[in-house]
Amino acid sequence: MASIPDFEIAEAGISKDNSAEAEQFKFRVDEIFQKVDELEQKVNEVEQFYLSSSKKQQSSSKGSSMGKERDKERQVPSIKKQQQDASRREAAAAKRMQELMRQFGTIVRQITQHKWAWPFMQPVDVKGLGLHDYYEIVEKPMDFSTIKNQMEAKDGTGYKNVRDICADVRLVFNNAMKYNDEGSDVHLMAKTLLEKFEEKWQLLLPKVTEEEKRRDEEEAEAQLDMQLVREAAHAKVVRDLCNELYEVDTHLEHLRETVVQKCRKMSTEEKRNLGTAIARLSMEDLNKALEIIAQSNPAFQAMAEEVEIDIDAQSESTLWRLKFFVKDALELQSKSAMSTGGNNNNNYNNKRKKEICDAIAKTAKKKSKKTCS
């Protein structure tokens, strides 16, 4: 944004000779423009956050109304508390999962102690047995020694979930049944042990399902806490924005009063010329001019069927604002007319414009008669 041009200061009657005062005024205006730019950026950030939050809420609008009421009553946790809770939650979940893995280890030991488990205890000796097509048929080899090593790993490379171990146990037997013919001993042994494993797994499965459900609920709760923290942070930003906007508005009002005090009063001839210039505005710009009048006069109905515009009754600040606006609007209007030929066939706009212009002329005529008498 640019600062107020020199010609506006000069036309409003602020002497350019007093350059220090004029420069100070322009500097203050530039500061406000810079502040407004910063506030606009913050407003956009807050708007994007709430738009994103709204989309997430719509996509996850599951659950009962009672659950939603509980969410409203939740206390907003601090970031530190949330981190502490997350650490405790992860530690407790890891401990529960370790217990499930211990119970699963019992199942694995029972299966591997079976008299038919020996072919599956070590990796298949592909080279020694001359199984040249083994890797073409079996995509991912697996055996119980590999499973045991991963279950006992202490370097963080081991299993994290019981279902991962279960998948590898099944892989051991499925690989054997896939490579060996259905009537072969190894195929029969693998099929039998897989059935026994599935029976034992079904006994542990309810506990695994319960743990997974609990983890999902805790994760949802953690996400809600994080959302509340973010909303609280953005709510603070909104409060700060409101305070800053109030300060900017107060500063602008002070500057407005300063301008009015520095401005000379507009002469009668200038007011008459202003009324004439307003009549030359396009319908769109004419409505904007009416809005400028309405800003300093709440009782003025800019969009009423009939309007009465008394130029002499307007404040000095309103008159100068109108003058600057009309000047810029007519210059743009003139350039636009030259490029488009100036054709306008909007009958309604022309009628509305005529009514407003007649109102200006009528009011001016009344003022003139009162002055003569």
Tokens linked to 175 = 């690989």
Cβ contacts of 282 within 8 Å, gap of 6 or more: 329, 333, 344, 353
Helix (H, G, I), strand (E, B) or coil at 76: coil
DSSP 8-38: HHHHTT--TT-HHHHHHHHHHHHHHHHHHHH
For the chain, the average pLDDT equals 78
Given the structure tokens 């973010």, which residue do they identify? 230
Confidence label for 65 from pLDDT (cuts 50, 70 and 90): very low
Given the structure tokens 């420069």, which residue do they identify? 23
As a whole number of angstroms, the longest Cα–Cα distance in the chain is 127
Task: Please write the tens of the pLDDT for every residue from 104-159.
Answer: 999 999 999 999 999 999 999 999 999 999 999 999 999 999 999 999 998 888 99
What angle is formed at CA 138 by the lines to CA 137 and CA 143, rounded to 5 degrees?
155
What angle is formed at CA 339 by the lines to CA 333 and CA 343, rounded to 5 degrees?
70
Look at residue 360 in the predicted model and tell me its pLDDT: 65
Look at residue 77 in the predicted model and tell me its pLDDT: 57
Average pLDDT for residues 189-214, to the nearest whole number? 96
Residue 111's nearest CA partner among 150, 159, 168 is 168
Look at residue 219 in the predicted model and tell me its pLDDT: 85
Per cent of the chain over pLDDT 90 is 29
Task: Please write the tens of the pLDDT for every residue from 323-357.
Answer: 888 888 898 888 887 776 655 545 555 666 666 66
Look at residue 221 in the predicted model and tell me its pLDDT: 82
Cβ contacts of 125 within 8 Å, gap of 6 or more: none
Integer CA distances (angstroms), 12 to 280, 304, 321, in order: 22, 31, 10
Following CA atoms 23, 25, 29, 31 in sequence, which dihedral angle do they give, to the nearest 10 degrees?
A: 70
Cβ contacts of 311 within 8 Å, gap of 6 or more: 271, 272, 274, 275, 319, 360, 363, 364
Tokens linked to 311 = 């130029």
Alpha helices for the chain (secondary structure H) = 6-11, 19-59, 65-73, 79-112, 126-129, 134-137, 144-152, 162-179, 185-262, 268-279, 283-296, 316-340, 347-372
